[in-house]
């Protein structure tokens, strides 16, 4: 079998056309002077540059600012007003009686007033502030859920590349092996050793192997692009997974322990629970519409004008309490209370649905990881068995006890087993991370542990095609944060 480096440093050619189905060339890391990126460095790029995470972070900051808006309604409110006016009076009436003072029909006036209020009792504002604080807590949990999802998506995309590379290696080797078998069949047919049907069988197997290799190459390219979408960066090469990674059952080794962990840590579940508190606050806000409000206030007014027969200015101050009692608003307050009560009930059902879904997801991932441990070993043994079966079938074909169809089928079985073994290994890693995500414990330490399983000896290198345009080479950076509008 050709070496893995040889398999990924050659470009296949299609007669009469340039091979373009694999624009990214996979090669050994030692062939490039650039250091390969590992899972942890790519995850850090995603935490800094992932657009979905950046959006969630901005939403959290917006929610925090909204809390300060609600807090401001409970603090003193001070307003100042000032006005300057020119006053003119036009009269068409005349009087024969003398007046005590002359009339001034053109004068200027100025007025200044300052008003300060302080809410002493306003249940609506207090409950709205409490709701805002719960909304901040909920958005914080949503941000954490997004962060864990980004870490999982990066790991999933990373190992999808490695899986696609291993599958492509198997398909390339399979194509080459069946191509040699086809060439031998044609030679044997020309000298009359086999029938034409054997050549047709070999040709059909070769065409299938070529189609599988093309599909694997396409999967590899798509996997690279998925990683770029998550991080906004393109990587020359990434490190491969070592052969001797620990394949063992998750710890703790009890499914119920992982479920209990999820009940305490799963951010999506906790955010849904926080939604119950927010819905309860909405009921309290609506009920507060039935309660009176009490404010303390202080007013000061100053006025002056240049009327001819007046001099000086006038001013006044007032301090007092102001109460407002809602009596009847057409029944809208009671209707709002009833509406928010139903929303509270709905939020409680939403939490129960999320609790059940989280429980099911944790149990499912735990079962999958346990099964993956056994599957990896079974797939590894299947590779050994199919390789032995292929050697035996080839020997039987040489002595005439097996036909070419048996040989082709044995080769197909071997390379299918190699692909299945690769899939099983990477499924174990991603399912293990998925279990941590569902339990709410997928943190940077968990990702660093998996990062230690990588090896620098077998890296995947990416080379853009020579005819790539500037648009193809551009990275998908989300750029600097937007500039807020000027105040």
- pTM for this model (two decimals): 0.80
User: Does residue 85 contact residue 109 with C-beta atoms inside 8 Å?
Assistant: yes
Q: Which of 391, 345, 258 is nearest to 337 (CA)?
A: 345
Average pLDDT over residues 276-303: 94
Name the token pair of 95: 């009087």
At a CB cut-off of 8 Å and minimum separation 6, what does 463 contact? 24, 25, 27
List, for residues 73-130, the tens digit of each pLDDT value: 899 999 999 999 988 877 666 555 555 555 667 888 899 999 999 999 999 999 999 9
Would you state the pLDDT for residue 458? 73
Sign of the Cα pseudo-torsion (19, 21, 24, 26, in order):
negative
What CA–CA distance (Å, rounded) separates 238 from 27? Answer: 11
Would you state the pLDDT for residue 228? 86
Backbone angles phi and psi of 424, in degrees to 5: -65, -40
- The DSSP 8-state label assigned to residue 252 in this structure reads S
What's the count of helices (H) and strands (E) in the chain, helices before strands?
Answer: 11, 6
- Mean pLDDT over each residue of the chain, to the nearest integer: 84
What CA–CA distance (Å, rounded) separates 259 from 261? Answer: 5
List, for residues 368-418, the tens digit of each pLDDT value: 999 999 999 999 999 999 999 999 998 998 888 888 888 888 888 998 999
Place of tokens 């003193």: 76
User: Does residue 433 contact residue 450 with C-beta atoms inside 8 Å?
Assistant: yes
Would you state the pLDDT for residue 189? 85
- The DSSP 8-state label assigned to residue 16 in this structure reads T
User: Does residue 115 contact residue 299 with C-beta atoms inside 8 Å?
Assistant: yes
Backbone angles phi and psi of 444, in degrees to 5: -65, -30
Would you state the pLDDT for residue 99? 56
List, for residues 176-201, the tens digit of each pLDDT value: 888 888 888 888 888 887 788 888 98
List, for residues 332-357, the tens digit of each pLDDT value: 999 999 999 999 999 999 999 999 99
Give, rounded to a whole angstrom, the gap between the first and last alpha carbons of the chain. Answer: 69
Would you state the pLDDT for residue 96? 59
Residue 46 host element (H or E): helix 39-49
Q: Is residue 487 over pLDDT 50?
A: no
Higher model confidence: residue 213 or residue 22?
213
Question: Lowest mean pLDDT: which of 26-30, 47-51, 482-486?
Answer: 26-30
Would you state the pLDDT for residue 465? 47
Q: According to DSSP H, which parts of 400-441 are helical?
A: 404-438
Would you state the pLDDT for residue 466? 46
Beta bridge partners of 83: 111
Beta bridge partners of 117: 77, 297
Would you state the pLDDT for residue 329? 86
What CA–CA distance (Å, rounded) separates 7 from 170? Answer: 9
Name the token pair of 142: 């949503």
List, for residues 212-270, the tens digit of each pLDDT value: 889 888 888 888 888 888 998 888 789 999 988 999 999 998 999 999 999 999 999 99
- What confidence category does residue 442 fall into, taking pLDDT thresholds of 50, 70 and 90? very high
Would you state the pLDDT for residue 481? 55
What CA–CA distance (Å, rounded) separates 108 from 86? Answer: 4
Would you state the pLDDT for residue 205? 86
Q: Is residue 71 over pLDDT 80?
A: yes
- The DSSP 8-state label assigned to residue 9 in this structure reads S
What CA–CA distance (Å, rounded) separates 473 from 459? Answer: 21
Name the token pair of 453: 């399983």
Would you state the pLDDT for residue 103? 61
Q: 98: number of CA atoms within 13 Å, CB side?
A: 2
Would you state the pLDDT for residue 243? 87
What CA–CA distance (Å, rounded) separates 117 from 134? Answer: 27
Domains in the chain and their CATH numbers? 4-75+122-291+334-473 (1.20.1600.10)
- CA diameter of the chain: 145
Higher model confidence: residue 9 or residue 360?
360
């Amino acid at each position: 079998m050709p070496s893995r480096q040889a398999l990924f440093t050659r470009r296949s050619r299609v007669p009469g056309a340039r091979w373009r189905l694999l624009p990214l060339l996979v090669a050994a890391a030692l062939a490039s002077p650039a250091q390969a990126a590992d899972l942890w460095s790519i995850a850090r790029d995603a935490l800094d540059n992932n657009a979905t995470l950046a959006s969630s972070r901005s939403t959290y900051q917006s929610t925090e600012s909204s809390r300060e808006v609600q807090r401001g309604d409970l603090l003193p409110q001070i307003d100042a007003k000032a006005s300057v006016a020119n006053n003119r009076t036009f009269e068409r009436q005349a009087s024969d009686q003398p007046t005590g003072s002359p009339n001034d029909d053109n004068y200027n006036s100025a007025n200044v007033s300052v008003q300060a209020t302080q809410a002493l009792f306003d249940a609506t504002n207090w409950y709205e502030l409490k709701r805002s604080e719960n909304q901040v807590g909920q958005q914080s949990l949503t941000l954490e859920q997004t962060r864990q999802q980004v870490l999982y998506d990066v790991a999933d995309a990373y190992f999808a590349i490695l899986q696609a590379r291993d599958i492509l290696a198997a398909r390339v080797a399979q194509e080459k092996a069946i191509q040699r078998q086809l060439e031998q069949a044609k030679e044997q047919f020309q000298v009359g050793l086999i029938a034409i049907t054997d050549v047709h069988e070999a040709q059909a197997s070769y065409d299938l192997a070529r189609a599988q290799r093309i599909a694997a190459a396409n999967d590899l390219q798509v996997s690279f692009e998925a990683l770029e979408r998550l991080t906004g960066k393109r990587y020359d090469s990434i490190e491969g997974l070592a052969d001797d990674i620990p394949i063992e059952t998750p710890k703790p080794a009890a499914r119920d322990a992982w479920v209990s962990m999820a009940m305490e840590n799963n951010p999506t579940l906790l955010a849904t629970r926080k939604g119950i508190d927010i819905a309860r606050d909405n009921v309290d806000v609506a009920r507060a519409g039935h309660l009176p409000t009490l404010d303390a206030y202080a007013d000061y007014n100053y006025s002056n004008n240049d009327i001819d027969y007046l001099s000086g200015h006038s001013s006044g101050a007032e301090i007092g309490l102001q109460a407002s009692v809602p009596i009847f608003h057409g029944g809208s307050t009671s209707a709002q209370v009833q509406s928010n009560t139903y929303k509270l009930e709905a939020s409680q059902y939403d939490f129960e649905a999320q609790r059940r879904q989280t429980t099911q997801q944790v149990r499912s991932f735990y079962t999958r990881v346990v099964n993956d441990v056994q599957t990896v070993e079974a797939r590894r043994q299947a590779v050994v068995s199919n390789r032995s079966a292929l050697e035996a079938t080839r020997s039987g074909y040489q002595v005439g006890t097996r036909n070419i169809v048996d040989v082709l089928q044995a080769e197909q079985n071997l390379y299918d087993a190699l692909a299945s073994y690769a899939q099983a290994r990477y499924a174990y890693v991603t399912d293990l991370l998925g279990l941590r995500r569902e339990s709410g414990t997928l943190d940077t330490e968990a990702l660093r542990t998996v990062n230690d399983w990588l090896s620098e000896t077998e890296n995947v290198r990416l080379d853009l095609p020579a005819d790539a345009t500037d648009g193809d080479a551009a990275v998908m950076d989300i750029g600097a944060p937007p500039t807020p509008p000027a105040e």
